[in-house]
Structure 1
Amino acid sequence: MKSKLLTTVFFLLITSITFSQEKTIQAIEIKGAKKTSINYLKRILKSKPTMVLDSTILANDVNQLKRLAAIAHATFRVEKDIGKNKFNVIFTVEENFTIIPEVNFWTNNKSDVAYKFGVYDHNFLGRNIGFGGFYQNNGYNTYAVNFKAPHLFSPKFGLAFNHQNWKSEEPLYFDSGSANYLYNNVSFEVLGLYKLNSKNNFELGFNSFKEKYNYLNGITSNQIPQQLNLNKFLFKLVYNYSNLKYHYQFLDGFKSQFYGQLVKSDGDQKDFLIAWNDFFYFKRVGERGNWANRIRMGLSTNNKTPFAPFSLDNNVNIRGVGIIVDRGTGSIVLNSEYRYALLEKNWFCLQGNAFIDAGSWRNPGGKLDDFTNHKNIKVFSGVGLRFIHKKIYNAVLRIDYGHSLKSDGTNGIVFGVGQYF
């Protein structure tokens, strides 16, 4: 009995000594934040005062800071309190400029000058809230307002709200040819945002919208409607997985984004499901190189309709192919490019890239073997330039030239803001 008692006392003594020697966080300090709320940044960190000092958690916290629109770069260091087994953690951040104006001019199909003015703050109130909107006139008036607060209620729960009144000319494709319609979409969307952990987050909500199609020109017949008014309602689920590591414009790692929608209509159109997944893989190559890849796979309810949801468009999936040249009820697309920093300064980077875009579509009402039909397969290759301001969020001006590798000789130049993917 006495032996057991001594053993127990000895065990408790060793345990006490071991725990008393654990390295703990005394305080957390954040330096470099000017517009961004320091209280907000501390709130979203997983590391907290009195916690055990864990280098893995600290590394995840730094990566979490780098993912914020407000932060261009982040580092941390640990300082020991004199005479104590406690440590101070100091995070140092470099902020992005996040109030981004948008001014665009272009020529529309009528050879008139179209324009778009907008402004978006990606760090509204210093709390990583996205808020802004735009007005566009391309012969028709369009506007939108967007609000997204990922951490509105807590570090895990947020809210997004979007309203849009969009008008544009849209080509619709029929068996005998195509026709142009004035398309108008007025929508209201509310999404709940949930962050499971540093790698997984979800968006769940609904969108109420009204669609109108008015015939402008092109083929017509008794079977082709001149006008169409539809009230629709959709449920949306978005799941994001990200294990990316950020270093300014360079990315390394894997990311997946899933989108699922159930669309219900009160008109002649049938309800339908649509889902697609984007898989991203990035690899740093030396100090200046970045290999970037995206695979998109999507399917929808296979209705034989000119309103098929997947479009073939050089602004979305195949650079150089043209603007909305076809539609389908399924899509498989591969985009792969090698990005190289031709010139890099403290705030600026000139990046060159060489790419290949390939994809195939399922025709409305068609079969899965449409994906292997050579008429539906598009393969383009080309080169481009990126002008990157490293201290302004998403300040990437891109220009790409794509040329078909098939015998049709199709080619085109694509301009845009932000990386293509």
Structure 2
Amino acid sequence: MFKRTIIFLLFISGLYSYGQEKIVHDLKIQGNKKIKTSFIKGISTIKSGSPLDSLTIEQDILRLKRLPSVSHAYYQVFLSEDNQYNVFYNIEENFTLIPSLNIYTTNDDEFAYRAGLYEFNTLGRNITVGGFYQKDIYSSYAVNFRAPYLFSNKLGLAINHQNLTTQEPVFFDEGTADYKYNNKSFEILGLYEINFKNRFELGLNYFTEDYKFKGENINNRPELNVHKWLVKGIYEYNNLDYYYQYISGFRSQFNFQYVTSTNNMLPDFFIGWNDFFYFKRVGKRGNWANRLRMGLSTNDNTPFAPFSVDNNLNVRGVGNTIDRGTGVIVLNTEYRHTLYEKDWFVLQGNAFVDSGTWRNPGGDFGDFSKEDNVKVYPGLGLRFIHKKIYNAIFRIDYGYGVTKNSTKGFVFGIGQYF
């Protein structure tokens, strides 16, 4: 009888233990040196006393790997006591005080560059502070502040100022005219993370656009100085996974802006576009990367249309702002292959095709299929990658046009092209 009682009690105890929910006793952070432990715990979903859920932990790890200050992250789970567990998040940090550099040329001997310096982990809380200087015939600069988790693990703030001056071709019916263009702006954005995969930004931008004609104005071209307000909204779905230089998954980012104006030459207008990204691992060393941009704006017949065809934005080798439009479809696709990898260093080669087409100002959707508007530029490139420094990817690409009135040229920069 005594033995039966003991067996029965052990059986009941086993059932109780089996049915008892596993609880996190403590979340411990290891490997971080500059990133604050309090910051990592603050943005993590797993807390002391919460249920032990592997899916939640894996989402935390993905969130950490997306941070500029983290090159890699993984977790471990150990039994503590009374069906409670200690969870360890192991962090491999990036170096985050990063210079930026973009250089581009064409066969017209055009040369321009943008150099900057950014700290992506200010105060150990993944706050980005920095700016750039640009030389593209004229001098320009910008300063930026971005803190996505400034107020909580969901709510943040971004503040930007730029004074950008360039030579811009403006396309009139009777020919192209060159203008000295200046855009001086102040912007503030609220940042909100709905959940792990979805976030949005909403804010205001006050800016001044100044167009001054270059050379002798024999045709009495318009010169403008216009004050504007811009309302901006961004929605992003992000389901990307990172493993050092490799990326897999899908991401979509939608941008919408409404701009008010005080001049009939630059009337009120809207502009919206969506970038779709798709990445796929190919074997152990390959990565297939794709970006599709589709956008439309108010279809005013104006020489100051918002979408541009540009070397450093959408088509490598095409030149600096060679055309403008009120609609855009651009597809960038490339295969990236790791040629050599040793400790922190990676040499990556890539083969790409950049293609795009634009709707003419005041035109119709048939413009997208017109031969003069279609640009196709295949090319080859190299990437020199430091695995322990955030965005430390020096790229060299050479694009060669195969469509009507094409050019060719090199594009240099820091970071992947997309």
Q: TM-score, normalised by structure 2?
A: 0.92
User: Residue 53 of structure 2 corresponds to which residue in structure 1?
Assistant: 54
1:23 shift after superposition: 0.9
Q: Which residue, out of 325, 328, 333, partners 2:330?
A: 333
Quote the offset at 1:136 in angstroms.
Answer: 3.8
Find the counterpart in structure 2 of residue 389 from structure 1.
386
- Cα shift at 1:111: 8.8
1:274 alignment partner, one of 251, 263, 271: 271
What residue in structure 2 maps to residue 236 of structure 1? 232
Distance 1:110 1:375, change over 3 A: closer
Residue 406 of structure 1, CA deviation: 2.6
Equivalent residue for 1:163?
161
Q: 2:63 is aligned with what amino acid? A: Q
Q: Which has the higher contact order (CA 8 A, sep 6+)?
A: 2
Work out whether 1:172 is the aligned partner of 2:170.
yes
- What secondary structure, in the 3-state scheme, does the structure 2 residue paired with 1:244 have? strand
Alignment of 1:170-249 (within 5 A): 170-217=168-215, 220-222=218-220, 224-225=221-222, 227-249=223-245
Aligned to 2:309: 312
Instruction: Tell me how far 1:138 sits from its aligned partner.
Output: 4.8
Alpha carbons of structure 1 residues 383 and 106: separation in structure 2 relative to 1, 3 Å: closer
Report the CA distance between 1:414 and its aligned residue. Answer: 1.2
2:5 corresponds to: none
Structure 1 counterpart SS, 2:373: coil
Which residue of the partner structure matches residue 34 of structure 2?
A: 35
Give, in angstroms, the shift of residue 170 of structure 1.
Answer: 1.2
Gaps of 5+ in 1: 1-12
1:21 CA displacement: 1.9
Aligned equivalents of 2:274 and 2:334: distance in 1?
Answer: 19
- Hey, what does 1:355 align to over in structure 2? 352
Aligned-partner Cα distance in 2 for 1:413–1:108: 6
- TM superposition shift of 1:363: 0.2
- Which digits, 9 at most, give the CA deviation of each residue in 1:122-145, with x for residues without a partner? 111110101111334555442211
1:129 to 1:394, Cα distance in 2 relative to 1, 3 A: same
* Residue in structure 1 matched with residue 141 of structure 2 by the alignment: 143
Residues 218 and 33 from structure 1, CA distance in 2 versus in 1: closer, same or farther, beyond 3 angstroms? farther
- Per-residue deviation, 1:117: 4.9
- Aligned CA distance change for structure 1 residues 397 and 112 (closer, same or farther; 3 Å): closer
> AA paired with 1:51?
S
Match of residue 5 from structure 1: none
Amino acid at match of 1:151: Y
Change in 2 beyond 3 A, CA 1:108/1:400: closer
Letter in 2 for 1:27: D
1:412 to 2:415 alignment: no
In 1, Cα distance between equivalents of 2:162 and 2:232: 16
Within a 5 Å distance, the mapping from 1:13-32 to structure 2 comes to 17=16, 21-32=20-31
Q: Secondary structure at the match of 1:315?
A: coil
Aligned residues: 406
> Which of 81, 84, 87 in structure 1 is aligned with 2:82?
84
CA distance in 2, matches of 1:179, 1:109: 21
Tell me the alpha carbon deviations over residues 281-326 of structure 1, each in whole angstroms, 9 at most, x when there is no partner: 0000111000000100000000111110000112111111111110
- Seen in structure 2, the aligned counterparts of structure 1 residues 395 and 230 have a Cα distance that, compared at 3 Å, is same
Distance change >3 Å, CA 272–CA 395, structure 1 → 2: same
Letter in 1 for 2:286: G
The alignment status of 1:264 with 2:263, answered yes or no, reads no
3-state SS of the aligned residue for 1:236? strand
The alpha-carbon deviation at position 364 of structure 1 amounts to 0.4
> Which residue of 308, 311, 319 maps to 1:322?
319
SS, match of residue 59 in structure 2 = helix
TM-score normalised by the chain length of structure 1: 0.91
Displacement, 1:106? 8.2
CA pair 199-112 structure 1, distance change in 2 beyond 3 A: closer
Aligned partner of residue 215 in structure 2, secondary structure: strand
Distance 1:139 1:285, change over 3 A: closer
Pair 336,77 (structure 1): closer, same or farther in 2 beyond 3 Å: same
- 1:97 and 2:95 matched: yes
Cα distance, 1:173 vs structure 2: 1.2
User: For 1:87 and 1:76, how far apart are their aligned partners in 2?
Assistant: 13
AA matched with 1:229: N
Percent identity among equivalent residues?
55
Report if the CA contact (8 A) 2:105-2:409 is conserved.
Answer: no
Partner of 2:341: 344
Is the 1:178–1:219 Cα contact (8 Å) retained in structure 2? no
Counterparts in 2 of 1:180 and 1:109: CA distance versus 1, 3 Å = farther
**Range moving further from structure 2, 169-178 or 324-333:** 169-178
Aligned-residue offset at 1:382: 1.1
CA deviations over 1:131-183 (Å, ceiling 9, x no partner)? 11133455544221110000111101000000111112111111121111111
CA contact (8 A) 1:108 1:138 kept: no
The two structures, once aligned, show a CA RMSD in angstroms of 2.4
Q: Distance in 1 between matches of 2:288 and 2:108?
A: 40
Paired residue type of 1:145:
V
How far apart, CA to CA, are the structure 1 residues paired with 2:163 and 2:16? 66
Asked if 1 retains the 8 angstrom alpha-carbon contact of 2:68 and 2:96, the reply is: yes
**Structure 2 residues without counterparts, runs of 5 or longer:** 1-11
CA distance in structure 2 between the partners assigned to 1:45 and 1:199 by the alignment? 14
